[in-house]
Amino acid sequence: MADDTALGTVVLGLEGFVLLEAREVDGEVELAVETMAVTTGCPECGVVARAHGRRATVVRDVAMGGRPCRLAWSKRLWRCEEQLCPKRTWTERRDDAALPRAVLTERARAHVCVQVGRHGRPVAQLAREFGTGWNTAMAAVRDHGLPLTEDPARTAGVASLGVDETSFQAAGPRRRTTFVTGLVDLDTGRLLDVVDGRAGTSVAGWLQQRGDGWLSAVRRVALDPHRGYLNALLEGLDAPTAVVDAFHVIKLANTVVDEVRRRVQQDEMGHRGHKGDPLYGIRRTLLVGTERLTDKGKARLEAALVAGDPDCEVWYAHHVKELLRRVYRADAHDEAADRLEEFHEACQFVEIPEIRRLARTLRHWHHQLLAYWRCDGLSNGKTEAINALIKRIKRVGHGFRNLANYRLRLLLFCGKPAWQDQPAARLRGPRHAS
Ligand SMILES: [Zn+2]
DSSP codes, 34-86: EE-----B-TTT-PBEEEEEEEEEEEEEEEETTEEEEEEEEEEEEEE--TT-T
Question: What are the pLDDT digits (tens) for 282-335?
Answer: 999 999 998 899 999 999 999 999 999 999 999 999 999 999 999 999 999 999
Mark the ranges of the chain whose per-residue pLDDT is less than 70: 1-5, 7-8, 432-434
| DSSP symbol at 133 | -
User: In angstroms, how far is CA 418 from the centroid of its own chain?
Assistant: 15
Nearest Cα neighbor of 74 from 10, 23, 130, 18 is 18
Distance 282 CA to ligand 1 centre (A): 85
70 and 63 in contact (C-beta within 8 Å)?
A: no
Distance 40 CA to ligand 1 centre (A): 11
What pLDDT is stored for residue 3 in this prediction?
56
Distance 41 CA to ligand 1 centre (A): 8
Count CB-CB contacts under 10 A for residue 17. Answer: 23
What pLDDT is stored for residue 15 in this prediction?
86
Distance 29 CA to ligand 1 centre (A): 38
What pLDDT is stored for residue 5 in this prediction?
62
DSSP assignment of 315-374, as one string?
Answer: HHHHHHHHHHHHHHT-SSHHHHHHHHHHHHHHHHHS--HHHHHHHHHHHHTHHHHHGGGT
Where are the alpha helices (H) located in 169-245, listed in sequence order? 200-208, 212-217, 227-236
Residue 270 burial (C-beta neighbours within 10 Å; 0-12, 13-18, 19+): exposed
112 and 137 in contact (C-beta within 8 Å)?
A: yes
What pLDDT is stored for residue 433 in this prediction?
59
Distance 99 CA to ligand 1 centre (A): 22
Per the DSSP assignment, residues forming a β-bridge with 373 are none
Residue 314 burial (C-beta neighbours within 10 Å; 0-12, 13-18, 19+): buried
What pLDDT is stored for residue 4 in this prediction?
55
Q: Most distant CA pair in the chain: distance in Å? A: 103
* 153-245+379-414 CATH fold: Nucleotidyltransferase; domain 5 (3.30.420)
Distance 38 CA to ligand 1 centre (A): 17
Q: Where are the domains of the chain?
A: 1-99, 153-245+379-414, 246-373
What pLDDT is stored for residue 28 in this prediction?
95
Distance 36 CA to ligand 1 centre (A): 21
What pLDDT is stored for residue 268 in this prediction?
86
- Name residues with Cβ closer than 5 Å to ligand 1, which is an ion: 42, 44-45, 80, 82, 85, 87
